[in-house]
Amino acid sequence: MKTAEQKKKYLADYYARNKAKHAENGRIWREKNREKQRIYWANYRKNNRLSLLEKKRRYAAENAEKIRVAKRNWYLKNKERIGKRQLELQRERRKRKKIYRRPRGYGNPYRREKTAFYRIKRYTGVPKWVNRKELLDFYSKCPLGYAVDHIVPIRHKMVCGLHVPWNLQYLPESENAAKGNHYFSSDFRYFWLPPAPASSTA
């Protein structure tokens, strides 16, 4: 009867003599049981997350130079593919942000809307049911040289407007700065501006 040591040696020798056969059998089994393997390794990584992380950190610390050389060689080998992928990502980002592009100095309407939203939210001027997409669409269509103004001001002694699309309008930047938080009816919208000089009669 063989001892445990003899069995171990016999199996090691058998595996060495039939290494190619074992590799082929393993490949066939893996192809037939892909889903089973996926579930097994997912559960294994979930149950051994900390030990695997520690093992990864220890390996990285002990083989820092080896990892650096391997990364460098991989980069040089795939430099052309990496360049093409980066160019594709850059084009995708530009395509996604195309609606927000404006001449230099005008600013990003997405940021302007977001800044206005959270600034006005402090004064309870933003209802919970407001549609942020409609607000962003209104800000993105603001003409050059104009500013988005609240018809009924958010902060006022007599009234409190809402940050909603139907309370917004486009005003020239100079008029918007002069208007401040004044509120008048539509017939007297420009009454805060200096009155026109009276015409002299002969």
pLDDT tens digits along 24-34: 988 999 899 99
pLDDT number for residue 193: 41
pLDDT tens digits along 59-73: 999 999 999 999 999
pLDDT tens digits along 82-101: 999 999 998 888 777 665 55
pLDDT band at 75 (very low <50, low <70, confident <90, very high): very high
Mark 30-62 as b/e (b = at least 16 C-beta within 10 Å).
eeeeeeeeeeeeeeeeeeeeeeeeeeeeeeeee
Cα separation, 152 vs 161, in Å, equals 5
Average pLDDT of the segment spanning 190-200? 46
